[in-house]
């Protein structure tokens, strides 16, 4: 039973990442990578628009209310550590980089939060 729930959550997460990638494309972003793993963590999407590179965490929840609790300091720290490890691969000289979050819930437009991490 737990395995079935985990697979269902994994599938929902992949769908959410696909939706988020399309949302970013509609906003003029180019998707550079999806689900990039590092020893420090994973970044769901890496996107570029001009000289800005965004390392994006995607969260999907059943209700908009649940999204308010989907991101916390611990999760953001893990994404930031992974993004830092990935910067040499995706960020060029004179580029800017940031950590963003896209929140998704059924019946709602995606919520794109920018510059969500300033470090400890």
* Alpha-carbon separation of residue 2 from 5, 8, 12, 18 (angstroms): 5, 10, 15, 24
Domain range enclosing 81: 2-113
The answer to whether residue 119 sits within a structural domain is no
pLDDT at 120: 55
The answer to whether residue 17 sits within a structural domain is yes
The answer to whether residue 88 sits within a structural domain is yes
Q: How far apart are CA 27 and CA 14, in angstroms?
A: 20
- Half-sphere exposure at residue 55, Cβ-oriented, CA atoms within 13 angstroms: 28
The answer to whether residue 82 sits within a structural domain is yes
Mean pLDDT by 10 residues, the chain (120 residues): 78 88 97 96 96 96 81 88 96 96 92 82
CATH, residue 17: 3.40.1350.10
Domain count, the chain: 1
pLDDT at 28: 98
Whole-model pTM? Answer: 0.91
């Amino acid at each position: 039973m737990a395995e079935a729930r985990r697979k269902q959550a994994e599938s929902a997460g992949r769908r959410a990442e696909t939706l988020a990638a399309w949302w970013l494309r509609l906003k003029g972003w180019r998707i550079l990578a999806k689900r990039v793993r590092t020893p420090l963590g994973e970044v769901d999407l890496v996107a570029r628009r001009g000289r800005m590179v965004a390392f994006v965490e995607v969260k999907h929840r059943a209700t908009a209310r649940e999204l308010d609790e989907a991101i916390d300091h611990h999760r953001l720290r893990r994404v930031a550590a992974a993004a830092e490890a990935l910067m040499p691969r995706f960020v060029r000289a004179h580029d800017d980089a940031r950590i963003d979050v896209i929140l998704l819930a059924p019946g709602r437009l995606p919520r794109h939060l920018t510059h969500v991490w300033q470090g400890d």
